[in-house]
């Protein structure tokens, strides 16, 4: 799958995805890191990628209705980077069970250490 990684996402998360064979596109390679959210999500669409962000604004379904996008993943670290390995193991397990990009189209995924909400 193709993931567009927002600038606020720790490198370790992109590396987890890359190590498991996913395509990882970094915002910093396509846009200035201070780009407004509207530009960031539009670039993810243009690149035909699922947006991955820590930015809680993208979890706002009024501002960013999931049905309009190829998929939005909101990672909930809550300033605890030490949970990344556990959080990513849960997400990687989920991805292996749901490996069709079409499954992600039009959905918001909130990735937490103990659960994944769709």
pLDDT at residue number 61: 95
- Give the whole-angstrom CA distance, residue 118 versus residue 83: 20
Residue range 58-116, pLDDT digits in tens: 999 999 999 999 999 999 998 888 999 999 999 999 999 999 999 999 999 999 999 99
pLDDT at residue number 36: 97
- Give the whole-angstrom CA distance, residue 92 versus residue 102: 17
User: What percent of the chain shows pLDDT beyond 70?
Assistant: 100
CA distances from 110 to 46, 75, 80 (A): 22, 6, 16
* DSSP-based three-state secondary structure for 37: helix
Residue 53, strand partner residues: 74
């Amino acid at each position: 799958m193709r993931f567009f990684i927002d600038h606020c996402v720790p490198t370790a998360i992109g590396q987890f995805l890359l190590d498991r064979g996913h395509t990882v596109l970094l915002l910093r390679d396509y846009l200035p890191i201070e780009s407004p959210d509207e530009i960031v999500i539009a670039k993810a669409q243009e690149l035909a990628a699922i947006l991955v962000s820590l930015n809680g604004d993208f979890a706002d379904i009024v501002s960013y209705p999931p049905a309009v996008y190829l998929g939005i993943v909101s990672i909930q670290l809550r300033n605890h980077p030490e949970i990344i390995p556990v959080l990513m193991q849960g997400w990687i397990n989920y991805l292996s069970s749901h490996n069709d990009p079409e499954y992600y189209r039009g959905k918001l995924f909130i990735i937490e250490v103990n659960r994944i909400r769709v």
